[in-house]
Structure 1
Amino acid sequence: MPDIDLNFIIRGDGVDGIFTLSVDNGKSVEFLKNEIRTNQRNLNKFDLYKNFSQSNNALVSTLRNPVTPDERQGRLMVPQEKISEYFTVLDIHALRENPPYLPEDGEIGPINVIIYPSAE
């Protein structure tokens, strides 16, 4: 399957916690988590949630507040499932071409995945 570019935000890091990874859409969410660990060495245990169409600024503001697992935003991404279960190439392309809101932070496109670090 083709690679897709996904934008991530680490809960609690604000705009400094936004980064992009290119991944094979046919790989598992667990593979994606390993790619994140390679890219963000300070992360070990965390959960991934697919973001619903919320603007980056609103999302960053919301993620500053502490949350319990029941209050997390988005859809939990199950490690055994394929990334394509959550993001199709067409979905990602459509979001890039026609974002649901105007970008307010320069070149950063819509955030696709929220990273909730786990307390160790």
Structure 2
Amino acid sequence: MNIISLDTKAKEFAQAVKETEEYSNLNAAQARIKLDPVAQELINELEESQRRIQEGQAQGQQVNSEVQSFQLLQQKAMANETLKRFFQAQQDFSKVMEEANQIITNELFGQISS
């Protein structure tokens, strides 16, 4: 199989993924976030908190208080219905991609016992 053929197959696979219910649900959940300013702010705060944790860890700093703040933000996010649906949609889509990856791995390397 040449590279052009592989490219075509990869695009066909991507199109098949786009046709899944999980992909559709994820896109809808992302669109709902854009309509919910509270959800948007929580996402921004989570990302900023996560960035501070990563930077602190990279510099060898104690990040316990930042981790606690992050956990509180996560709890707030899970209480927000828009974000709760988004996180569930992400998880469902992730499962689809994990299953696809497992199938590809099995096809490439044979059945892997787990």
Q: Answer 1 or 2: which has greater strand percent.
A: 1
Q: Which structure ranks higher in relative contact order (CA pairs < 8 Å, sequence separation ≥ 6)?
A: 1
Q: Highest Rg: 1 or 2?
A: 2
Fold match (TM-score > 0.5): no
TM-score (normalizing by structure 2): 0.24
